[in-house]
Amino acid sequence: MPLTALVEPARAPRWKINREWRSGGWQHITQGTCKIDASVDSAGVSSVDGVKDDRKNMAPRPFRFSVGFGGADSRTEWQKKAQQAESLGYDVITVPDHLGMISPFPALITMAEATNRVHVGTMVLDGAFYRSAWLARDVASVAQLTDGRFELGLGAGPDFAKPEFEALGLPFPSARQRIEHLRELIIETKALFAGDHQPPVHHRIPLLVAGSGDRLLQVAAAHADTISLAGIPVDADIDSDAIGDAALARRSQFVRDAAGTRCAEIELGLTVQAVEVEGHDAVDLTLARMFQPTFSDAQLRHLPGFLHGSAHGIADTLRRYRDEYSVSHFSVNETQMTALAKVIEDLR
């Protein structure tokens, strides 16, 4: 299937590039625009650039749920965690990419060996650490050893990763440089997979890009299969769920505008910062405070990534996120896994 955005000649790597994707490469199918005026609700119809858009007439994307594991003490423990996630209905289990933590690729292979259905992925690799030939080798290897259940998650590299660069003896690029490197990394890795790459790629490898800034989301909108919104910008005086919802609406609209005619192909996701289910264990606010360290507990509960209420009520919230904002992919860390599982059960 032909690639819709060809590698720019000036950016092409030294290796010979075959501009036709084989079935195992990242595939992009243009299905028409889904730009939507944020002032029109999900029941309305808008026209953008002469193209009518009515989401009520479109089949909704299925929900997908991802859980991230930060560590374990043994192979057996990694596998038990993976099996639990699969039994709770999760679709993807992921591992982050940081020094001082387990290398993600062997952990993912170990978890895939202990499960049958669930996919495994990175959430996310620090793209600034990688070069295309090295990344393509490792990604193709993991895809092969997990029988096609691997999903590649990439990021530009967060500001807090600066000590990791210092530990590696590497200069720490600016945010703009890291994002530009990520763009080139994606283009060049796709080009390698489009050619006669060794080891061969036999299965399609979905690409997820996670981030929050405008430049990074523009890169994601041009290239990713899934965009995971890692934090939604909100006003410092947020005092209601409605304000949080409006912030999510603006961010999802930004992605749709950036994606243009690719919009219908993209799965839009949200990092869930906390899950507070009535009757369940106490909520873990660690991740929410990482994103918004100056907010009060009450303000944190108004963030679109903070899910609270009964399991049925949260399920209704996620349905609304999908229907109104096109968000259908939700990722949590393992401390929230059993709480969100009650919501997954309600949705399915």
The pLDDT tens digits for 98-107 are 999 999 999 9
pLDDT computed for residue 57 by the predictor:
55
Q: Is the peptide bond before 200 cis (omega within 30 degrees of 0)?
A: no
Q: What φ, ψ does residue 134 adopt, rounded to 5°?
A: -70, -45
Read off the pLDDT of each residue in 279-299 and give the average, rounded to a whole number: 89
Pick the range with the lowest mean pLDDT from 67-71, 169-173, 200-204.
200-204
The pLDDT tens digits for 82-102 are 999 999 999 999 999 999 999
Quote the tokens at residue 24.
């195992």
Question: Which amino acid type is present at position 89?
Answer: G
293 Cβ neighbours under 8 A, 6+ residues apart = none
CA torsion sign, 47 to 49 to 243 to 278?
A: positive
Question: Which amino acid type is present at position 227?
Answer: I
The pLDDT tens digits for 259-276 are 999 999 999 999 999 999
The whole-angstrom separation of Cα 113 and Cα 76 is 11
Task: Please state the pTM of the whole predicted model.
Answer: 0.85
Beta-bridge mates of residue 64: 329
If DSSP codes are grouped into helix, strand and coil, which group holds residue 48? strand
pLDDT computed for residue 41 by the predictor:
39
Q: Concatenated DSSP letters for 136-191?
A: HHHHHHHHHHTTT-EEEEEE---GGGHHHHHHTT-----HHHHHHHHHHHHHHHHH
Q: Do residues 78 and 110 touch, judged by C-beta distance below 8 A? A: yes
Read off the pLDDT of each residue in 106-131 and give the average, rounded to a whole number: 97
pLDDT computed for residue 219 by the predictor:
98
Quote the tokens at residue 97.
């990419």
Q: Is the peptide bond before 199 cis (omega within 30 degrees of 0)?
A: yes
pLDDT computed for residue 34 by the predictor:
55
Query: Is the predicted pLDDT of residue 14 greater than 80, yes or no?
Result: no
151: buried, middle or exposed (CB in 10 Å: 19+, 13-18, 0-12)? buried
Q: With the CA atoms of 244, 261, 222 and 153 taken in that order, what torsion angle do they form, in degrees rounded to the nearest 10?
A: 60
Read off the pLDDT of each residue in 1-27 and give the average, rounded to a whole number: 34
Beta-bridge mates of residue 214: none
Question: Which amino acid type is present at position 87?
Answer: S
The bridge status of strand 306-309 relative to strand 46-48 is unpaired
The pLDDT tens digits for 35-70 are 444 343 333 333 333 334 445 556 789 999 999 999
pLDDT computed for residue 277 by the predictor:
93
Read off the pLDDT of each residue in 158-176 and give the average, rounded to a whole number: 95
116 Cβ neighbours under 8 A, 6+ residues apart = 86
Query: How high does pLDDT run on average in the chain?
Result: 86
The pLDDT tens digits for 214-245 are 999 999 999 999 999 998 999 999 999 999 99
Give the confidence band of 279 by pLDDT, cuts at 50, 70, 90.
confident
The whole-angstrom separation of Cα 1 and Cα 184 is 22
